[in-house]
Amino acid sequence: MRLDDKVCIITGGAAGIGKATAACFAQHNAQVIICDVDQAAGEKVASDIGGEFFLVDVGDRQAVQEFIDQVVGKYKRVDVLVNNAGVLRDGLLVKVKDGQLVKQMPEDDFDFVINVNLKGVFNCTQAVTPFMIEQGSGVILNASSVVGLDGNFGQTNYVATKAGVVGMTKVWARELGRYGIRVNVVAPGFIATEMVQAMPEKILSGMKGRTPLNRLGQPEDVANAYLFLASDEAAFISGAVLRVDGGIVIGT
């Protein structure tokens, strides 16, 4: 049991990679607490794995602080935080037709993605860190993406957040290491989550074709990476970026 009795928080745990990570951690005897904005799905996941669910918008700073305070009040510690929650609002920076500007990425779409994917990671980490410092240990795992490292067409907002998460991870690894806290980031490639599997077959085939291992990753592939980094087997790993992408390099 690689996470025996460790208290683990997973944001965005109602579906996809978060759901798979919650199940993986529970199988390794962790006390799993998930949060999400999808209450019905989140409660089902928590029930299935014997964990606990909280309805939380990670972009809401006060709600995050109240959530973390409740968890610490009940369990007296937090050993692992997985900042998994994320959203998409894809679109071109500008769209031009016949030399004329016809569309721009809406400011609301940019702000929404920043608020969840970047500020949400900041909110959750800042709320949990004082408790980890007090207990003298902790692991923080952040979700980036290969597009945060390589860029991607039509994803200005999403790429900005995922690149920012990598940068924050490296800063926090430096700042928090002295307190026994490790901070790492996982960068998935094309993963067969529920959202991805709903895409047209032509797009899915293109994703597979661009991946050297010639398949989509499974949520469990990423969950296993989180499991390793959360465990004591990764005790001397901090500030690292682990790609879980089948060897892909995003092109133009």
Catalytic residues: 158
Which residue has tokens 């951690």?
Answer: 25
Q: How far is Cα 106 from Cα 3, in angstroms, rounded to an integer?
A: 43
- The number of angstroms, rounded, from the C-alpha of 92 to the middle of its chain's C-alpha atoms is 24
Position 25: which residue type?
A: F
Show Cβ contacts of residue 99 under 8 Å, excluding neighbours closer than 6 positions: none
Pull the structure tokens for residue 133: 């410092």
Output phi, psi for 142, to 5 deg: -110, 145
227 close to 2: Cβ distance less than 8 angstroms:
yes
Q: Which residues, listed in sequence order, are joined to residue 75 by a DSSP beta bridge? A: none
Q: Give the closest residue to 19 by CA, choosing from 199, 194, 207, 204.
A: 194
| CA distances for 182 relative to 50, 129, 168, angstroms | 27, 11, 13
Q: Which of 212, 216, 214 is nearest to 193 (CA)?
A: 216
Between the alpha carbon of residue 114 and those of residues 1, 134, 228, the distances in Å are 36, 30, 28
Query: Burial level of 204, CB count in 10 A (0-12/13-18/19+)?
Result: middle
Decide: 148 and 166 in contact? Cβ < 8 Å: yes
